[in-house]
Amino acid sequence: MSPNLQNLRSSIPLLKKTNLVYLDSACSSLKPAPVIEAIVDYYQNFPACANRSIHSLGLKVTKEVEIARKNIANFIGAKQNEIIFTKNTTDSINLVAHSLDFKPNDIILTNDKEHNSNFLPWQNHKIAQHKIISTKNGHINIPELEQILKTHKIKLLSISLTSHLDGITIEASKIIKLAHKYNTLVLLDSAQTLLHKKINVKSLGADFLAFSSQKIMGPTGLGVLFVKDIKTLTPTNFGGGVVNDDQTIINGPSAFEAGTQNYASLIGFSRAIDAINKIPKEEIETNLKELSTHLLQNLKTIKDLIIINESPKPTSIISFYIKNKNSESIAIKLDIKYNIAVRSGHFCTHYYFKQNKINSALRISLAPYNNKKDIEKLIKALTKICL
């Protein structure tokens, strides 16, 4: 672990005061002290509204929110007027589902291992139809995808950039270019990508990109939606902050941000991005590669352990189950006896588990603040539990 990553680990209060091994960052990441301090600072010292009150507290929070919007936009290579603040990734995807102009014959295409947040909004869409492309060993078959795009009226391809099930990252630029060839818009669920990889939305070419703060060392209650052309969406939620004095709906992101925003989380997330930006991407990628490789090699030594969609490339997420063992029971033992936090169950991917006849599984998700000792403690505990 590099000095920069060690400094990051040392800045997380929970890891300083306990011997916790936290391997559930795909659900929610741990928060560095500057993030927590920024949230407390807002509530203690300027708990006012942005873009409304003109007193000093109001002006202070307005300035901080403007800084946050710029910081978040820069983080993904976007412009400030291309960023809409939401409640979470789920909310961002639902915003597209309700605000994009769908016709009765339009089709939304997803794959079989999407999170329910990128599955149920389309399955239950009141206008468009939902179609599913099956993956093989966790990967989308590109020729099969092109055939579907060529023969069906696909309005939107909505897929994860990095899967929350197996950590596999798609060939985004290639898939987006292919979709655009057939006039299909593309939404990327990037919730599991941005803690580990630097991306640029302009280079990717996606029409929409959704993610949330809590998975990138930021606070809960804040999501982000990048929109390449905001005119493709029509506001559906109305209230304070979305109109001019004459009650005409304003243009830009604010038209989709009705009501009082989550200012504390915006400010806190901006600090989380500052923390990530201090670490060279090469150090984050090297650490992930070393930990993922070490984890995979050792998991394979455990009898009857089946890895779901094993990838030849290092991934931040590895899911598995052990034959004739209850995944939830293992997770409980890891927690109570060894103070190791992992995810168990279906990971909000019920369709995939049902189709592949998997009862439940365990998921290990890594973060830049994890180290080799975390992996060794996990393997030692799993080995004892599975004897």
- Tokens for 272? 């989380």
* Whether residue 243 has pLDDT greater than 80: no
* Whether residue 112 has pLDDT greater than 90: yes
Q: What whole-number distance in Å separates Cα of residue 289 and Cα of residue 190?
A: 20
Measured in degrees and rounded to the nearest 5, phi and psi for residue 356 equal: -100, 10
Higher pLDDT, 253 or 357: 357
* Whether residue 242 has pLDDT greater than 70: no
| Helix and strand totals (H; E) in the chain | 14, 13
**DSSP class per residue in 248-278:** PBPSSGGGG--S---HHHHHHHHHHHHHHHT
* Whether residue 179 has pLDDT greater than 70: yes
Catalytic residue among 27, 49, 348, 386: 348
Q: What whole-number distance in Å separates Cα of residue 240 and Cα of residue 269?
A: 23
**Fold (CATH) for 3-24+280-385:** Aspartate Aminotransferase, domain 1 (3.90.1150)
Write down the residue that tokens 């201090």 correspond to. 278
Q: What whole-number distance in Å separates Cα of residue 149 and Cα of residue 157?
A: 9
The closest alpha carbon to 223, from 347, 99, 90, belongs to 90
Q: What whole-number distance in Å separates Cα of residue 141 and Cα of residue 357?
A: 21
Intrachain domains 3-24+280-385 and 46-277 with the same fold: no
Residue-wise pLDDT for 74-92, tens only, equals 999 999 999 999 999 999 9
Residues 6+ apart with CB under 8 A from 348: 115, 116, 117, 164
Active site residue 348: yes
**Fold (CATH) for 46-277:** Aspartate Aminotransferase; domain 2 (3.40.640)
Report pLDDT for 343.
Answer: 98
Query: Taking all residues of the chain, what is their mean pLDDT, rounded to a whole number?
Result: 95
With cut-offs at 50, 70 and 90, classify the pLDDT of residue 246. Answer: low
Question: Could you give the percent of the chain with pLDDT greater than 70?
Answer: 98
Residue-wise pLDDT for 150-175, tens only, equals 999 999 999 999 999 999 999 999 99
Q: CA dihedral defined by 68, 69, 74, 79, rounded to 10 degrees?
A: -170
- Tokens for 187? 């939404």
Q: CA dihedral defined by 327, 329, 332, 333, rounded to 10 degrees?
A: -110
* Whether residue 93 has pLDDT greater than 90: yes
Residue-wise pLDDT for 281-340, tens only, equals 999 999 999 999 999 999 999 999 999 999 989 999 999 999 999 999 999 999 999 999
* Whether residue 255 has pLDDT greater than 90: no
- Classified as helix, coil or strand, 72 is helix
Measured in degrees and rounded to the nearest 5, phi and psi for residue 318 equal: -135, 120
Question: Where do the domains of the chain lie?
Answer: 3-24+280-385, 46-277
